Amino acid sequence: MRMKPMLIFVYALLFTIATGPLGPESLRPESLELRILTPRIVAEVLQVNLDEAVALGIQNSKTLKQKLIAVNAARAALQAAKSSYYPTVSVSANYTHLFEEQKTSEITLNGFTIPEMYTGSTDPISLSADLKQTIYTFGKLKNSVEIAEETLKLAELELEEEKRSLIVEIKRAFYWYILAGEVLKVQEQTLEYKKETLRVARKRFDAGLSPDYEVLSAESDVENFRPTVISSDNQVRYALLAVKDLLGVAEGEEFDVELIGELVAEYFAFKREELIEKAMEYKYEIGQAENTIAIAELNSRITKSEKKPVIAGFMNYRAQSGFDSSGKPRYWGEDSWDGDLSVGVSVSMPLSAIFPWSRERAEIVQSTLELEQLKLGLGSLESGIRLSIENLLLRLEEERAKILSGEKGVELASRLFSSAKERYEKGMASSMELQDSQVSLNAAQLGYLRSVYNYKVAVLDLMDAVGVYQF
């Protein structure tokens, strides 16, 4: 088969995903290591399983790329904050042209005449170099750097959470698509059962074994069920669009996407305390709240240190070009330049901060109250997470019980339908009885599928509550 350029591009894209997903390299609670299988391109249809879909979504996510840029910006801001530890050096050069030369007037004193003299160069050049070094700030500088570090941690947390959330959303949409496909199969099968009932009814009518009412009833049952199949088919199409949107696959491509997977019951055994402990460690909202508290504490320290002095050292060297007796500048030669070096220490302190009505004192009180408010909010958040986990564990048990009950229900409904079908073919049951058994089987199959799907969704909701993307 000759592949079009777009298909070749997709193949290369998936190879890139396999060799290196979007950084950072780690994703809590463990590294994101997806095993990418060989892409399957059949008749211009790209077949992907769940792991491949997740990798493709991560690679194409514009939001993740934005978050990664934010991380790099925060890292640059940290470097800028750390630069305050080091001295700052600046140099300057000035050139001045004087249209009117500067010179003294001729002075005669006690019969002695002092001729006029030039006091400066006509085109002087001055060079200067300044060096400043912060010596001690009583924690202001250190706390500012730590705030930049916490800001970087928060940006990394947001990147990790966006990636984790995207993975869970892709899984959720993937299973929704699989559910829609399974529902469509059940509805198509039910439609075939109804068509078979219609064929049997016509044979029985032609043989004079049943009235035309049964034929009309079976034909009406078939036509009334067709819209249900069409609706189920539309649900599959819509579910696929939702998945493709998360994967970043645009409409109008030269290929289509087919998702490969099954909706099977998969049970998990969870321990409440372990989940809560893991949530306290990995939950984004917990990390965000702790990070906000840490920044608030650092800001509070900076506010308290505003009353304390800042000690800095400085050094300046200034060189001035010389001039001769005619006022012309001398840039070269001996004694052409004259320089001065000055070194000192400065101590600055806001005296207004010592007064009880000062802005600094009010800000100290404000930062203390805001910090207490944040800590109380963290406690409420932890309580809410515990309650959510407990509720989801109960929901999982409920859905598991429904799955087990649904399995038995499908088995019994299948046996009832087979019995009704056999009895109808032998003329021992009415068409209404057969239709009722078809409805019961259809409802049992759909109920079982939805129970399996609801269990998987509850597991995904639990992942959100704990702050992970897999168990």
pLDDT in tens, 369-413: 888 888 888 889 999 999 999 999 999 999 999 999 999 999 999
Which residues, 6+ apart, have CB-to-CB distance to 231 below 8 Å? none
Tokens coding 388:
């959510």
- What is the predicted pLDDT for the residue at 271? 93
- What is the predicted pLDDT for the residue at 115? 67
Ranked by mean pLDDT, which of 36-40, 109-113, 306-310, 392-396 comes out on top? 392-396
Selection from 427, 6, 21, 1 nearest residue 255 by Cα: 6
In the chain, what are the domain boundaries?
A: 51-60+141-250+266-302+357-466, 87-136+310-348
**Alpha carbons within 13 A on the beta-carbon side of 31:** 10
Mean pLDDT of the chain: 85
Element (H, E) at 439: helix 431-466
**Alpha carbons within 13 A on the beta-carbon side of 340:** 4
pLDDT in tens, 262-302: 999 899 999 999 999 999 999 999 999 999 999 999 888 88
Architecture of domain 51-60+141-250+266-302+357-466 in CATH?
A: Up-down Bundle (1.20)
Residue 6 has pLDDT above 60, yes or no: no
Element (H, E) at 130: strand 125-136
Selection from 152, 140, 7 nearest residue 84 by Cα: 140
Residue 283 near residue 466 (C-beta atoms within 8 A) = yes
Residue 259 near residue 171 (C-beta atoms within 8 A) = no
Tokens 């002075």 belong to: 107
More confident call, 34 vs 327: 327
Angle (CA) 113 119 124, round 5° = 160
